[in-house]
Amino acid sequence: MIEVPPEPEDIKKYILNVRSHLGNEVGIDWDSLAVWAGNRIPSYLWKKWKFELSRRGFTWPQFLKLISYLTRDMILWMNGTQPWETFIQKAIEDLDGPMGELVRIKT
């Protein structure tokens, strides 16, 4: 069973620091760039869930693709408008649902 891992405060600080150094020009999704900097969030989750994800047939590239659909939720977490647990519950739902199946089939 996939469980909610502890909120990675160090990763959140890193992402917020990256975001503070990016620009504010219109037309560039700076928040997305920040949450994906260094793949810190997916790497953290992969490390915590690797055994279970592999057992379910997910590869690292497939997991990245699935998590990419949750970029909006990562941004909400970064900005403090969505709890970590809510983001993770959405990720778990996608892993277990049609999106997870689609990602595994198409890649």
Q: pLDDT digit string (tens) for 9-43?
A: 999 999 999 999 998 888 889 999 999 999 999 99
For the record, the structure tokens of 49 come out as 């869930």
> Cα torsion at 57, 40, 75, 88 (round to 10°)?
40
Domain count, the chain: 1
The reply to whether 4 falls in a domain is no
The reply to whether 50 falls in a domain is yes
Question: Average pLDDT for residues 59-78, to the nearest whole number?
Answer: 97
- Position 27 scores a pLDDT of 81
106 pLDDT above the threshold of 80: no
The reply to whether 95 falls in a domain is yes
Q: Range of 21's domain? A: 9-106
96 pLDDT above the threshold of 80: yes
Helices (H), 27-59: 30-36, 40-55
Interacting residues of 2 by C-beta distance below 8 A, sequence separation 6+: 49, 52, 53, 92, 95
- Position 59 scores a pLDDT of 95
Classify residue 27 by its DSSP letter: T
Classify residue 24 by its DSSP letter: -
The reply to whether 1 falls in a domain is no
